């Protein structure tokens, strides 16, 4: 089956610093990748949709200047949390859809747990 990886799996940073999270599709090309955030005991919340070679589409209420998304290749998307604060502490999960037409499935990464001190 298709595999999506994320790096790092865990990160702890000081308030005010920036953190970059990588999402890679290991065995398929993904024209579209998605970023989600999940707070404890809550469901996943879609943050943005990332299309290779174009600007990401952010969901309402998500600050695009704070959560920078780059999808530079068909196998890599990055999420940078800029000037992180304790309220940004969360579980960040990416997913990817294969480029093939008619593919309905999203494949999810294992998640990155961010703790901002």
Partner 1 sequence: DAKTTQPNSMESNEEEPVHLPCNHSTISGTDYIHWYRQLPSQGPEYVIHGLTSNVNNRMASLAIAEDRKSSTLILHRATLRDAAVYYCILRDVWANNLFFGTGTRLTVIP
Residues binding partner 1 (CB under 8 A)? 4, 6, 32, 34, 36, 43-46, 49, 91, 93-95, 97, 104-111, 113
Which residues, including other chains, have CB under 8 Å from residue 105's CB and lie 6 or more apart?
2, 97, 98
Residue 86 phi/psi, 5° resolution?
Answer: -55, -35
| Cβ–Cβ < 8 Å for 6, 33 | no
Q: At its nearest, how many Å lie between partner 1 and the CB of residue 70?
A: 19
Q: At its nearest, how many Å lie between partner 1 and the CB of residue 101?
A: 11
Candidates 61, 53, 67, 64; CA nearest to 114 is: 67
| Cβ–Cβ < 8 Å for 78, 33 | no
Q: At its nearest, how many Å lie between partner 1 and the CB of residue 64?
A: 16
Q: Choose between 51 and 70: whose C-beta lies nearer to partner 1.
A: 51
Q: Choose between 7 and 82: whose C-beta lies nearer to partner 1.
A: 7
Q: Choose between 70 and 91: whose C-beta lies nearer to partner 1.
A: 91
């Amino acid at each position: 089956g298709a595999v999506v990886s994320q790096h790092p799996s865990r990160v702890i940073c000081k308030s005010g610093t920036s953190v970059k999270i990588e999402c890679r599709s290991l065995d398929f090309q993904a024209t579209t990748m998605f970023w989600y955030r999940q707070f404890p005991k809550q469901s996943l919340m879609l943050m943005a949709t990332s299309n290779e070679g174009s600007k990401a589409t952010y969901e309402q209420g998500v600050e695009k200047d704070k959560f920078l998304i780059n999808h530079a290749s068909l196998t890599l998307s990055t999420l940078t949390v800029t000037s992180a604060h304790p309220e940004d502490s969360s579980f960040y999960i990416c997913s990817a859809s294969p480029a093939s037409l008619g593919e309905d499935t999203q494949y999810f990464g294992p998640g990155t747990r961010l703790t901002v001190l």
